[in-house]
Structure 1
């Protein structure tokens, strides 16, 4: 697979590195000479220094031979124009554009008629969805759904006083009488693929795959209060904070502003079941605070800096169930989340952009850390996958990926027993979803066409897994 990426910023760099690790042929275009030089030195891919909205530069990058063109610069307009140029000159590459402006990303005309963009990814919407999924499970950890299978993967941190600490996974499963799989745990910074005999230790991070009832059961068994989070404070009135507030307040009035209606359509299934909660914005910019007060008359808006001691001392956060720290400063988001917990806020979610900050924040005690970069990269990876791969989830601090795939009738794996499959190194089938059933992957189980498989595989073996599923 040949992929051309425009933009060597945080998303482009992270995406290029992951795809190179998977054995893809990647060319990176970057207009800034210094950024291009750093990328050439540190990434094992071809780097072209030039403007991505230039046909000669695109040709130099080998766009005529590319399977995908992904434009992830900081400019919506450049991303759309570059995709338009590629679509106009070449029919083969699938075009993907990072577009932050909601009016653009919600427009079918932009995607199909005018610019020829095959896929539009809005990073703030993807991050907001991740926040919403987490808070709907009590902000215990990150929640990643496996497409429409009904399964999801939830991260759970084992505190020192957690009832599960000291218990073997097999004993936990038998005591709960619910189906769940723990494909991976992070222990002291190392990735561990556990067995049933693995004993859970304090400070472990468990990744649990289950249907909703199984997820809820293990969350409760871990000692987390499953009551609904009703009083929610949001630090920062930017796009992500606004999108989450729209959901929390159940804003679905057709008389509201056009951007709101566009967001309602994009958030889709979340909006339909959102109960109304009490929302409190904390925003340090006076002009933004006034706009929030006007746009959200049902919310409380405080003109204050979340980092000031007076916010806690004045009791602004007293009695709140959750703080979502979504300012533009990721370090402030982490500190604010910790500060809020020290002043009685039960749970906290912090937004970051550096993937490395996810592990740091977790170790410091933030309940949930959502990486805007990771959610964006995961969304793009779902588009790139072959072999009927429906979704893919990277795990911060790990070299493994969890992949959800659908077997079709042409797959070489269809009708094979699991014990006879030749899967890549260290790859394991975790769950077989057949209709309404979730089957444990025993060796004598034969998988069928239209089965959904959840597989864990090392990142550098993803290409081999794609080939095994789709056939060469």
Structure 2
């Protein structure tokens, strides 16, 4: 696929990195020649320096032959203009835009007759929703949903003394109540995925991805981690777009304190919120945190636009007794470095946002994509199309499918019903199948497996 990415910031760079290894031709456009040069040194991509909203720049980037344009510059206006030009002047089949302002998230404005945006991504909203889930499941490192919320996958750290630690995976079923089923989709040990089966023993410290029907996930979580108290008191550092949205989401169920260093912004956000206490000050001020009783907080969320401030504020909050802390960190190297130390969760905004983009880029019929472990792994929800004569999966048991090393079918959703599959589970047309890929390089083979084909090639099945 020929893909044109406009904007070489965190989201554009992360998207290019995710797609360049999948036999795609990627061209990046940005005003920052230095940022493009760094990406060109690291990735097999073509780069063009210029304003992505200019027709001449788009033409130089090869927009005439593009299958897809992804406009993720820092400017909503530039993204909208680029999509409009891509449609009306260059006939690009699919157009995606990142839009920060809610004023632009109007289906009429984005229709083909206007700005011609097929899919609009609002990163701040996606990040706010994601953080809301982490507050809802405070024991989790990641929480993602599939099948319109019917299925939940939780990534968490197995702890010493947990019911399953030191025992084989198959022992989990013996602890679950009747009618409750779950699947351990993957285990990462010392940052590496390990091959698992029913006899695999869970170790303390393992990063485990657990999947179950959403109504059962709380019950299942007790298997691997001591359930923490529900989050009732939250302090947020930063009243920017993300911090203000998260405060608005949480203030109905939690006692929320929001710390903002800019007096004018603090006053503005205080007028938007109903039950949040907005404070003017620095979240790295130990005196302020102590005065506001940070030690009694269930969760501290460092959501400013400054990575270093977020790391410092979260580390300080943890030292002063806050039960769990999260830091929003744009630089992936920082996120990898700090998580697991004093900071419980280092969250990369780009990796949260990228799932929505990848959903519209994958070649198979993909309903949802979630980037996991800061891009190292992916979980895909694929819709099964075709019939036995034109599909490699329809009408076949899981044990009959060709083995793709590093990829496994973790769940099937059929007619709204969640099925935790076994080797003899039959795949049917219309099923939503969740596939966990422990490495990105396996994704192309998974897509090929689920794509309908006019005639099956010999050797696909044993």
Q: Do both proteins adopt the same fold according to a TM-score greater than 0.5, normalized to the shorter chain?
A: yes
Alpha carbons 1:130, 1:370 under 8 Å: kept: no
Give the direction of change, closer, same or farther, for the CA distance of 1:185–1:359 in structure 2 (3 Å limit): farther
2:134 is the counterpart of 1:157: no
Q: What secondary structure does 2:282 align onto?
A: coil
Q: Tell me the distance in 2 between the aligned counterparts of 1:153 and 1:379.
A: 16
TM-score (norm 2): 0.89
Q: What secondary structure does 2:126 align onto?
A: helix
Residue 121 of structure 1 deviates from its aligned partner by 0.8
Structure 2 unpaired stretches of 5+:
454-462
Give the direction of change, closer, same or farther, for the CA distance of 1:61–1:245 in structure 2 (3 Å limit): same
Q: Tell me the distance in 1 between the aligned counterparts of 2:129 and 2:15.
A: 20
Structure 1 unpaired stretches of 5+:
251-275
Q: Tell me the distance in 1 between the aligned counterparts of 2:415 and 2:311.
A: 41
Specify the alignment match of 1:101 in structure 2. Answer: 101
- Superposed, 1:123-162 pairs within 5 Å as 123-138=123-138, 140-148=140-148, 150-160=150-160, 162=162
Alpha carbons 1:233, 1:320 under 8 Å: kept: yes
Q: Tell me the distance in 1 between the aligned counterparts of 2:375 and 2:240.
A: 30
Q: Tell me the distance in 2 between the aligned counterparts of 1:358 and 1:167.
A: 31
Q: What secondary structure does 2:409 align onto?
A: strand
Q: Tell me the distance in 1 between the aligned counterparts of 2:308 and 2:199.
A: 39
1:417 pairs with one of 394, 397, 407: 397
Q: What secondary structure does 1:115 align onto?
A: coil
Residue 71 of structure 1 deviates from its aligned partner by 1.0
- Superposed, 1:287-436 pairs within 5 Å as 287-396=264-373, 399-410=376-387, 411-436=391-416
Q: Tell me the distance in 2 between the aligned counterparts of 1:227 and 1:363.
A: 20
Residue 419 of structure 1 deviates from its aligned partner by 2.4
- Aligned-pair Cα RMSD in Å: 2.3
Give the direction of change, closer, same or farther, for the CA distance of 1:82–1:364 in structure 2 (3 Å limit): same
Once the two structures are superposed, residues 21-59 of structure 1 have per-residue CA deviations (whole angstroms, 9 ceiling, x without a partner) of 122221112232222222222211222233322223222
Residue 449 of structure 1 deviates from its aligned partner by 0.8
Residue 345 of structure 1 deviates from its aligned partner by 2.2
Alpha carbons 2:168, 2:198 under 8 Å: kept: yes
Q: What secondary structure does 1:186 align onto?
A: strand
Give the direction of change, closer, same or farther, for the CA distance of 1:445–1:297 in structure 2 (3 Å limit): closer
Alpha carbons 1:127, 1:371 under 8 Å: kept: no
Give the direction of change, closer, same or farther, for the CA distance of 1:232–1:80 in structure 2 (3 Å limit): same
Q: Tell me the distance in 2 between the aligned counterparts of 1:62 and 1:429.
A: 38
Specify the alignment match of 1:184 in structure 2. Answer: 186
Residue 441 of structure 1 deviates from its aligned partner by 3.3
Specify the alignment match of 2:17 in structure 1. Answer: 17
Alpha carbons 1:352, 1:370 under 8 Å: kept: yes
Q: What secondary structure does 1:416 align onto?
A: coil
Q: Name the stretch that deviates more: 364-373 or 82-91.
A: 364-373
Q: Name the stretch that deviates more: 363-372 or 1-10.
A: 363-372
Alpha carbons 1:168, 1:197 under 8 Å: kept: yes
Residue 238 of structure 1 deviates from its aligned partner by 0.7
2:201 is the counterpart of 1:224: no
